[in-house]
Amino acid sequence: MAMTSIDKRIMAYILDNWHKNFTGTSASAISEEFGLAHQDVLKILDNLESKGLGIQNKNVKLYTPIIKPEFKNLFKDKEILTAIFFPSKKSLEKDIKSWCNIFSVK
């Protein structure tokens, strides 16, 4: 199955995040960035992983603080069950080669 336009855009986002922060990218962050349903993003990440473009750490619990004055402790955490996607060595090497071509680095 060929990569769709959204697959390519999400992979570019994951690689950009890696180069900026040297971390994986959560499905929840991708969902928010692209306005996609979280479940749809999880399926896309499964597809990217099946193509050898990265690996996932599935069933990760993240917590988002919700600040509301009516809560006794002034904030309450919202738990999110998501996946973290890490680009593969192959993806990173291909991405670095494309940057070298753009900037004529040999």
Domains of the chain: 5-58+84-101 (1.10.10.10)
At residue 97, what is the residue type? K
The residue among 21, 10, 5, 15 whose CA lies nearest residue 88 is: 15
pLDDT at 18: 93
pLDDT digits (tens, 9 = 90+) for 55-103: 999 999 988 776 666 656 655 567 889 999 999 999 988 877 775 555 5
The count of C-alpha atoms lying within 13 angstroms of the C-alpha of 92, restricted to the half-sphere facing its C-beta, is 13
Q: Whole-model pTM?
A: 0.79
pLDDT at 24: 96
Averaged pLDDT for residues 26-37: 96
The token pair at 48 is 């990217």
